Chain A
Amino acid sequence: MKAIVDCNSFYCSCERLFRPDLRDKPVVVLSNNDGCIISRSDEAQRLGIAMAVPYFQARHIIEKHNITVFSSNYHLYGDLSWRVMQTLRTLMGDNDKVEVYSVDESFLDLDESSPDRLQQLAKEIKTTVETWTGISVSIGIAPTKTLAKMANRMAKKDKQSSGCITVLATEPAIDAALRQTRVDSLWGVGKAYAAKLLNWGITSAWELSNMSEEWAHSNMGGVVGVRLIRELKGQPAIEMEEELVQKKMIATTRMFGRPVTAVGDLKEAVATYISRAAEKLRRQQSAAGVVSVFIVPGEQDYMTGFRHGPNISSHVSLPKPTSLTHELIKPAVELVEQLYENGRTYKKAGVMLSGLVPDDSIQGNLFVPQVENQHRFLMNTIDNINFAMRDDSVKFGSAGLTKDWKMRQELRSGRHSTRWEELAAVK
């Protein structure tokens, strides 16, 4: 049996933890740069706030109903996410039985639990996570990951009657659930895939589960289709994944707080993103062989965040993979110069480091010039200082000092769980 534990309106729940006055009130959280609504409480949803709508479009509803709005506070969400996952690991007693799937969802491997105890177990997990972290969760349990996702969806649909828990352990229960689930709401079925299925006349998950594996193999994209069918039939085909230890590429992308026209500002932004990406690179002990840069021109309507101009991107291969910030900044800044067109406004930029290989400079290499080892020590020192002091205490000059282009986060709450200076107050 597999379970999925999913935090309810995660970002909103995080915000409410230190604001008990908002307990039953409508709350929304905005994306980076206050562009769109990325999390909404049940109350906000009931008032007609849709997911991912631009902030300005929902503004009239927000003002009319006095909905509380927050800018995203990733320090807070990241910390609470860790707390939730850590609680699950403690409860499971074995790291391998917890697969963190996203910031607010985790798969649990319950193969060793007896089927008649699952409901009770789910209740215990839910209560413990809520008591320890203050974040409420929904739990779906079923024989496979895909069915567990489906169960979780049902649990969330009617929280009152389900108590946020749905267990599909018997064949009749699974059968009934499949019948009331549409194919387009299944895990792993995207829009295009769903359209294809509808063309075949398959609308419910139950109909899909009754198709044969051969049919899926020839009509639904080979192995992927077969896996989906098996999962729906209750045969585990998607196993628990081990934690992604080393990423294959590292990207940093942000919207600017205001449109940027000067090439200097653009270079500063890209240098800052490279610094952040290089830090991540060193943390996973890799070196990058390819640096890519992209910049997005924003035509007039930058407020909506939706009218993307065409991406302008370019990449360069390095003579030798490196993890040193200054060796990465240089080619990146040169790329910006190539891509930049005078007179245009830009609203977003990003960098990507790829071609990752293990960083052999970490231990100090006997066979390279002394100066390279020194550079590595310099990077370690910078990383250590920035990790301890935070907010980029030490940085490269090309990343700029003022950062006019930085993200807008006007409504951000305090970083209550990670910063000594920003602790929540109690009277």
Chain B
Amino acid sequence: MELEQFYGINYKGSKRFTQWDVPTANATGFGAAADDYMERGIDLNEQLVRNKPATFFMRVSGDAMTGAGIFSGDVVIVDRSVKAVSGKVVIASLNGELLIRRLEKTFNKIRLVPETPRLSPIDVDVSGAEFSIWGVVTYVIHSL
């Protein structure tokens, strides 16, 4: 595998490319003008994965977040290196389960809020429950 490959810190994506991968129009006639505007194209890894060693993909199973546009069967991109501040959609580990919810944090209280009327928010008893933030959801991939 190419996993051993190291990319500089500034490189955000995961794809390796060289200048030769940039396509040319290869036109025989008035091609040079088009060549001047050729680009490498869009790489989703580069756009959606900000920190590769800390980024995981997970599959949503349930309707807890439909109000936020996250549906059952969707894939979410989870970045463990992003700080879980109040208002973020997070993957939380609560009493042995992985849950996707919106995090609401006030100075003395943590709540996991679903975005569907069918479920109620969970007040996390930080001292009693087995609770931790697994990661922060950065993108959702939804198949149409």
| Residues from 12 to 67 in A contacting B, C-beta threshold 8 Å | 18, 20-23
Is residue B25 within 8 Å, beta carbon to beta carbon, of the partner chain? no
Q: Which residue of chain B has the shortest Cβ distance to A387 in the bound complex?
A: B1
Contact A420 B57 (CB under 8 A): yes
Specify which of A79, A131, A416, A426 lies most central, judged by the most chain B CB atoms within 10 Å of its CB: A426
Contact of A90 among B9, B56, B62, B98 (CB under 8 A): B9
Q: Write out the residue numbers on chain B whose beta carbons fall within 8 Å of the beta carbon of A427.
A: 61-62, 64, 97-100
Taken together as a complex, chains A and B put the C-alpha atoms of A426 and B52 apart, in Å, by 20
Given the known inter-chain contacts A87-B53, A133-B53, please indicate yes or no for A425 contacting B130, CB distance below 8 A: no
Contact of B3 among A82, A133, A416 (CB under 8 A): A82
Taken together as a complex, chains A and B put the C-alpha atoms of A64 and B64 apart, in Å, by 38
Min CB gap A357→B, angstroms: 22
Contact A423 B81 (CB under 8 A): no
Q: Write out the residue numbers on chain B whose beta carbons fall within 8 Å of the beta carbon of A78.
A: 1, 3
User: Which residues from chain B sit less than 8 Å from chain A, CB to CB?
Assistant: 1, 3-4, 6, 9, 51-54, 56-62, 64, 75-76, 80-81, 91, 93, 95-100, 130, 132, 134
| Residues from 127 to 145 in A contacting B, C-beta threshold 8 Å | 131-134
Is residue A417 within 8 Å, beta carbon to beta carbon, of the partner chain? yes
Contact B53 A82 (CB under 8 A): yes
Contact B6 A86 (CB under 8 A): yes
Closest A-B pairs by Cβ, 5 of them: A21-B96, A132-B54, A20-B93, A83-B53, A86-B53
Q: Which residue of chain A has the shortest Cβ distance to B76 in the bound complex?
A: A426
Contact of A426 among B4, B80, B98 (CB under 8 A): B98
Taken together as a complex, chains A and B put the C-alpha atoms of A20 and B133 apart, in Å, by 11
Contact B9 A426 (CB under 8 A): no
Is residue A424 within 8 Å, beta carbon to beta carbon, of the partner chain? yes
Min CB gap A303→B, angstroms: 33
Is residue A376 within 8 Å, beta carbon to beta carbon, of the partner chain? no
User: Can you give 11 A-B contacts (C-beta < 8 A)?
Assistant: A78-B1, A82-B53, A83-B54, A87-B53, A87-B54, A131-B54, A132-B80, A416-B56, A425-B59, A426-B60, A427-B100
The 8 A CB mask of A242-253 against B (1 = contact, 0 = none) is: 010000000000
Is residue A93 within 8 Å, beta carbon to beta carbon, of the partner chain? yes
Q: Write out the residue numbers on chain B whose beta carbons fall within 8 Å of the beta carbon of A133.
A: 53-54, 80
Contact A90 B130 (CB under 8 A): no
Contact A426 B75 (CB under 8 A): no
Taken together as a complex, chains A and B put the C-alpha atoms of A164 and B119 apart, in Å, by 40
Taken together as a complex, chains A and B put the C-alpha atoms of A18 and B58 apart, in Å, by 10
Min CB gap B90→A, angstroms: 10
Contact B9 A93 (CB under 8 A): yes
Q: Write out the residue numbers on chain A whose beta carbons fall within 8 Å of the beta carbon of B132.
A: 20
Q: Looking at chain A's contact residues, is the secondary structure mostly helix, strand, loop, or mixed? A: helix
Q: Write out the residue numbers on chain B whose beta carbons fall within 8 Å of the beta carbon of A89.
A: 6
User: Which residues from chain A sit less than 8 Å from chain B, CB to CB?
Assistant: 18, 20-23, 78-79, 82-84, 86-87, 89-90, 93, 95, 131-134, 243, 387, 416-417, 420, 423-427
Contact B4 A82 (CB under 8 A): yes
Taken together as a complex, chains A and B put the C-alpha atoms of A82 and B96 apart, in Å, by 26
Q: Write out the residue numbers on chain A whose beta carbons fall within 8 Å of the beta carbon of B4.
A: 82, 243
Q: Which residue of chain A has the shortest Cβ distance to B137 in the bound complex?
A: A426
Contact of B58 among A22, A95, A426 (CB under 8 A): A426
Q: Which residue of chain A has the shortest Cβ distance to B133 in the bound complex?
A: A131
Q: Write out the residue numbers on chain A whose beta carbons fall within 8 Å of the beta carbon of B97.
A: 20-21, 427
Min CB gap A424→B, angstroms: 5
Min CB gap A41→B, angstroms: 15
Contact B96 A132 (CB under 8 A): no
Q: Write out the residue numbers on chain A whose beta carbons fall within 8 Å of the beta carbon of B81.
A: 131-132
Q: Write out the residue numbers on chain A whose beta carbons fall within 8 Å of the beta carbon of B56.
A: 416-417, 424
Q: Write out the residue numbers on chain B whose beta carbons fall within 8 Å of the beta carbon of A82.
A: 3-4, 53
Specify which of A82, A132, A417 lies most central, judged by the most chain B CB atoms within 10 Å of its CB: A132
Q: Write out the residue numbers on chain A whose beta carbons fall within 8 Å of the beta carbon of B58.
A: 423-426
Taken together as a complex, chains A and B put the C-alpha atoms of A134 and B80 apart, in Å, by 8
Taken together as a complex, chains A and B put the C-alpha atoms of A20 and B52 apart, in Å, by 22
Contact A132 B51 (CB under 8 A): yes
Q: Write out the residue numbers on chain B whose beta carbons fall within 8 Å of the beta carbon of A424.
A: 56, 58-59, 98
Min CB gap B89→A, angstroms: 11
Taken together as a complex, chains A and B put the C-alpha atoms of A82 and B55 apart, in Å, by 12
Taken together as a complex, chains A and B put the C-alpha atoms of A392 and B57 apart, in Å, by 24
Taken together as a complex, chains A and B put the C-alpha atoms of A133 and B60 apart, in Å, by 20
Q: Which residue of chain A has the shortest Cβ distance to B6 in the bound complex?
A: A95
Taken together as a complex, chains A and B put the C-alpha atoms of A234 and B3 apart, in Å, by 35
Contact B59 A426 (CB under 8 A): yes
Q: Write out the residue numbers on chain B whose beta carbons fall within 8 Å of the beta carbon of A420.
A: 57, 75
Min CB gap A242→B, angstroms: 13
Min CB gap A104→B, angstroms: 15
Taken together as a complex, chains A and B put the C-alpha atoms of A22 and B95 apart, in Å, by 10
Min CB gap B50→A, angstroms: 12
Q: Write out the residue numbers on chain A whose beta carbons fall within 8 Å of the beta carbon of B1.
A: 78, 387
Min CB gap B126→A, angstroms: 16
